[in-house]
Amino acid sequence: MPARPGRRPGTDRGDLGDGPLTGGDLHSRPPATSWPGPRKDLQLPYLFMRANPGDTGSRPSVGPFWESPDVLLLAGVDPSMAPEIPPALGQVALAGKPNTVYAHLWNFGHAAAHDVIVEFLWCNPSLGINPAGAHLIGRTVTHLGAKGSGRAHRVVKCPDAWVPTFVNGGHECLLVRAWDVISDPLSTPEWDASVNRHLGQRNIHVAAAGSLADQPVTIGVGPLFGVPTTVAVERAHPAAVPWLQLHTGTRGVFPTPAPVTGDVGIAVGGGLMGDSHAVHDDGAQVLLTATDAPPPPGSAHVYRVTASAGGATFGGYTVVVLG
């Protein structure tokens, strides 16, 4: 039966504890896909990038995982001139200019991660990410201390510049992958941030007021793996997008919701506009259009496009129109 690539985390044997060591412990060969106890309790690193501000690395993630607060950038500045930590956390990329991308990495494991590979990639506007649409910006290596060491998280700067363009009316997406080669490998699925804690994804496009009526955004759906998929759009309250706190620069401060004065919808393959559509073929694209009036100053329209299969959301793209 067709299915999307899934996560294979292994099983807990329940051996971790204070019991005495026996001969069986020394001579038995446990299954390679098992752990002696809960993964977070082992003497290993536990690397992750947050899908939302309260994320501690458990997967699958809940909510819009594509709005990671841990994928950051410094607009219009080449990495050679950029500081190690961006001075403002909610900046929006400048098209056609060099931008510096950062990743905020976390280790909640009981051991340090000494050889952490960090990959920075961009993708065309898409709900589901796959290697065919991913393009490497740069790669670096870092280290993180164990949980409680005071060095268990850090911001890492990409050594190479990202020069984005506007593709089909929307900004390209950012993806960061981080793993320790020996003690916390990347694991599978390698491109799905909803179930793989080693990935951080930023599919957020901040649009100019009124631009969605004049220039709709075309978004790829991504590979379907033979699974019936539903693509939908909905309005969201600005306070439901934690990333907007980074943009305002103040915790707990969000734009107010702009008055609804028009319609928002998506179309597939030149069909009729609607709130949701069934998609059956790989390579499908959806057209997002909104006819709301420009938001007043200090307010915003937020539109979320999602792709779901088998009762689970595997991709999303968020458009914010700021007043």
79-109 pLDDT, tens digit per residue, is 999 999 999 988 989 888 999 999 999 999 9
pLDDT tops 60 at residue 2: no
Q: For residues 221-245, give the mean pLDDT.
A: 94
- The strands making up 264-268's β-sheet, listed across from edge to edge, are 217-220, 285-290, 264-268
Cβ neighbours for 256, distance < 8 A, ≥ 6 positions apart: 238, 298, 299, 300
Whole-angstrom Cα distance, residue 272 to residue 140?
A: 45
CATH superfamily for 33-202 is: Immunoglobulins (2.60.40.10)
* Higher pLDDT among residues 37 and 156, named by residue: 156
Which pLDDT score, from 0 to 100, does residue 169 have? Answer: 52
List the chain domain ranges. Answer: 33-202, 207-322
The DSSP letter of residue 239 is G
Q: Where are the beta strands (DSSP E) in 71-181?
A: 71-74, 100-107, 113-123, 134-144, 153-157, 166-167, 170-171, 173-180
pLDDT tops 80 at residue 283: yes
140 alpha carbon, distance to own chain's centre: 19
197 alpha carbon, distance to own chain's centre: 10
Which pLDDT score, from 0 to 100, does residue 286 have? Answer: 93
Evaluate whether 105 touches 72 at the Cβ level (below 8 Å).
Answer: no
In the numeric block, which tokens belong to residue 323? 């007043």
What band does 23 get if pLDDT is binned at 50, 70 and 90?
confident
Task: Please state, rounded to an integer, the average pLDDT across all residues of the chain.
Answer: 90
pLDDT tops 90 at residue 139: yes
Which pLDDT score, from 0 to 100, does residue 170 have? Answer: 55
Evaluate whether 36 touches 16 at the Cβ level (below 8 Å).
Answer: yes
Q: What angle do CA 230, 232, 238 make, to 5 degrees?
A: 145
Whole-angstrom Cα distance, residue 130 to residue 112?
A: 30
Q: For residues 300-304, give the mean pLDDT.
A: 96
Q: What is the dihedral of CA 117, 34, 51, 140, to 10 degrees?
A: 0
Which segment of 1-5, 6-10, 143-147, 236-240 scores lowest on mean pLDDT? 1-5
Beta pairing partners, 136:
121
Amino acid letter, 125 = P
Q: Which class in CATH covers the domain with range 207-322? A: mainly beta
Whole-angstrom Cα distance, residue 202 to residue 308?
A: 18
306 alpha carbon, distance to own chain's centre: 13
Whether 33-202 and 207-322 share one fold: the answer is: yes
